[in-house]
Chain A
Amino acid sequence: MFARGLKRKCVGHEEDVEGALAGLKTVSSYSLQRQSLLDMSLVKLQLCHMLVEPNLCRSVLIANTVRQIQEEMTQDGTWRAVAPQAAGRAPLDRLVSTEILCRAAWEQEGACPAPGLGDGHTQGPVSDLCPVTSAQAPRHPQSSVWEMDGPRENRGSFHKSLDQIFETLETKNPSCMEELFSDVDSPYYDLDTVLTGMMGGARPGPCEGLEGLAPATPGPSSSCKSDLGELDHVVEILVET
């Protein structure tokens, strides 16, 4: 297997190919290892503990590792250009949320690591790449959620993203989702309110837990109203599952 960006040489030039292959292999195995480490790190950042806040120290160390890899790959020239909207939002000397950068890169590569391991997905080893899931589609709500994250003082977690939350939702059984929405009373049945409450920083607990969420988050919902357009899109996805 060859490193990204390097073309296979045609079989005709045998002597050159062997030498080149040997060189390529050492280069490519390092790149592969580095890529695998990057993927593993991103998966670790994604896996969110359902009910308990993730360990901030661990998250920071993993994020720093990801940054290191990114910097090295940028120097190598193997890092793809950052998506315009992400780069435009923040000064370049400050690394934007690593997740956004990585997702922008994935979009172009058309691959992403497996989200939450467990039910509902056919899983290979952690470092396997698999196609983008439908929850990855909305980009804008994610970036706006990240901005929203900034000023909120009482966040213990380093990175909460809409994608994380929706991925977790996706891994639940479809029957669980129906149960969730069938049991709630009519005032809670406003999906927007429920999802806004979730977006406002609450973690999705077990299905029953979500029912109690809507009244518990009055503050964030006001700032989330602007993102409802994107939410509609997401809701469509959920309803389809």
Chain B
Amino acid sequence: MVLQSSERHYRDWDHRRLGPWCSPTGSPAPLSCETGCGEGSWILVCRLLVPTQVSLLSMEEDIDTRKINNSFLRDHSYATEADIISTVEFNHTGELLATGDKGGRVVIFQREQESKNQVHRRGEYNVYSTFQSHEPEFDYLKSLEIEEKINKIRWLPQQNAAYFLLSTNDKTVKLWKVSERDKRPEGYNLKDEEGRLRDPATITTLRVPVLRPMDLMVEATPRRVFANAHTYHINSISVNSDYETYMSADDLRINLWNFEITNQSFNIVDIKPANMEELTEVITAAEFHPHHCNTFVYSSSKGTIRLCDMRASALCDRHTKFFEEPEDPSNRSFFSEIISSISDVKFSHSGRYIMTRDYLTVKVWDLNMENRPIETYQVHDYLRSKLCSLYENDCIFDKFECVWNGSDSVIMTGSYNNFFRMFDRNTKRDVTLEASRENSKPRAILKPRKVCVGGKRRKDEISVDSLDFSKKILHTAWHPSENIIAVAATNNLYIFQDKVN
């Protein structure tokens, strides 16, 4: 498959050739999403790096592309802030994986097709399409910049040959159509070789153009722009199960859109107080129920989740259900509210549960029980004694996301030091893995990591004080049906796979 001419994306070819790949176990492999997370069964499939500037290549004298790629990839100093990945999302089949970055770009990866010759390459993703989704803007009235950073990408379910996705920055949502073109009409005789129109008097025959195959080209076109509906910064978008509407949520309001209509949206939640001085709570995330198109949830900075039914009233300021866990008085501190602020909320695929992520924990709630979660998982409780320092360096405000696996049996979320955690809800086992170049050989099994809290540090453990808080994993995604995960670490995208695959 030929990539777009503006290709600037390079695979880490070296790693792929170096390591042996794992041979499958002797026993028949169970259905991939039922294997759970296990311990030590994850392998690195590929690491993808997307550089910003083509001009950086000219700094290399050697024009051999592969050599440039390799030297480029080894030196992190070339990576700019615009390359920082800000969102990751698989589409509904898992064939495509989209990333958005701080520079307003969207990069779509496509899964390598299965082929008899190269069985080991299945499960790897290659660049499929790249486009600039959002540009930086300047709000002249407020004299403020509007960042082009892509906050969220959400795919629409596929309804024809083209793919559709929504991408959003702080203020504007866009609907993009990504389609393939592999045929080109040829045989026009109305223009000459230079493309100039020929004098009609010189044309003596009527020639019908014929479609001939051409190199595959993937093009992305913006089909809708949904602008000027948000005063505050958009933090979430969610496609409704009716596939006709979607919602966009900012700090204080949630709007409902129809895909076909860009100049109007319905405001369905508004928590802005009449007097801004009274503002004490903001909306942090929102999502539609996966099956009931009238139901959605939104989370707040006070650690609460509200479930709303759009049939109840046009403006859903009064919730149908209110989820809040009573505070543990023994753990109370000045930071209690900040660490209870929910950074992400996700429905399970079944629609029966919601998962929330706050600073130190991930919680699973049953929709039928509002007064407390049914499960609580500690992500990095060793940070509880460091909250003051984390407040000082602003890390306490980091917004981690959380994801379900396809069967809702395993949940995953990120942490610091490029660590990410998985929790198996059935076995109650958990594992900490690391997404880093140094520690992951291709196709070698990822070694579980452990943070030592105090006292004696065992070999291979890392102490809390050695953690690198600048390396945070905020965005992860799980393939909808297989045990393939995508983990974004700054400007690197890691794809891991369960080895039994």
Contact = CB atoms under 8 A, between A and B. Distances in A.
A150 B276 CA distance: 6
A209 B144 contact: no
Residue from the set B142, B231, B252, B282 with the largest chain A CB neighbour count within 10 Å: B142
A106 B322 CA distance: 40
A67 B279 CA distance: 12
B333 to A, nearest CB: 10
Interface stretch (B74-82, B334-342, B415-423): B334-342
B233 interface: yes
A150 B388 contact: no
Contacts of A203: 142-144
A154 B231 contact: yes
18 contacts: A37-B388, A52-B145, A52-B147, A55-B233, A56-B233, A60-B279, A61-B397, A68-B337, A69-B334, A94-B277, A150-B275, A150-B277, A153-B231, A154-B141, A154-B142, A155-B231, A209-B143, A217-B141
B341 A57 contact: yes
A96 B278 CA distance: 9
A57 B276 contact: no
Contacts of A61: 301, 337-338, 341, 397
Contacts of B388: 33, 37
A94 B276 CA distance: 12
Q: Is the interface of B mostly helix, strand, loop or mixed?
A: loop
B391 interface: yes
B233 A158 contact: no
Contacts of A146: 277
Contacts of B276: 149-150, 155, 158
B281 interface: yes
Interface in A88-144: 94-97, 126
Nearest to B282: A57
Interface in A151-172: 153-156, 158
Contacts of A65: 334-335, 337-338
Interface in B321-338: 334-335, 337-338
Contacts of A154: 141-142, 231
A58 interface: yes
Given A57-B301, A60-B279, A202 B143 contact: yes
Interface residues of B, number: 32
Nearest to A127: B392
Contacts of B341: 57, 61
Contact of A56 (B147, B251, B335): B251
Given A40-B392, A202-B142, A55 B397 contact: yes
Given A202-B142, A216-B141, A158 B391 contact: no
B403 to A, nearest CB: 21
Contacts of B338: 61, 65
Contacts of B143: 201-205, 209, 213, 216
Contact of B337 (A64, A155, A158): A64
Interface string B128-139: 000000000000
Contacts, number: 93
B334 A156 contact: no
Interface in B120-157: 140-145, 147
A200 to B, nearest CB: 10
A191 interface: no
Interface string A48-75: 0001110111101101110111000000
B141 A56 contact: no
Interface string A176-194: 0000000000000000000
A76 to B, nearest CB: 14
Residue from the set B231, B334, B392 with the largest chain A CB neighbour count within 10 Å: B334
A94 B280 CA distance: 12
B232 A56 contact: yes
Contacts of A33: 388
A212 to B, nearest CB: 8
Nearest to B171: A156
A44 to B, nearest CB: 8
Contacts of B145: 51-52
A194 B413 CA distance: 48
A217 to B, nearest CB: 7
Closest 8 CB pairs of A and B: A202-B143, A51-B145, A56-B251, A58-B397, A57-B282, A61-B338, A52-B145, A216-B140
A191 B334 CA distance: 43
Contacts of B391: 37, 40
B284 interface: yes
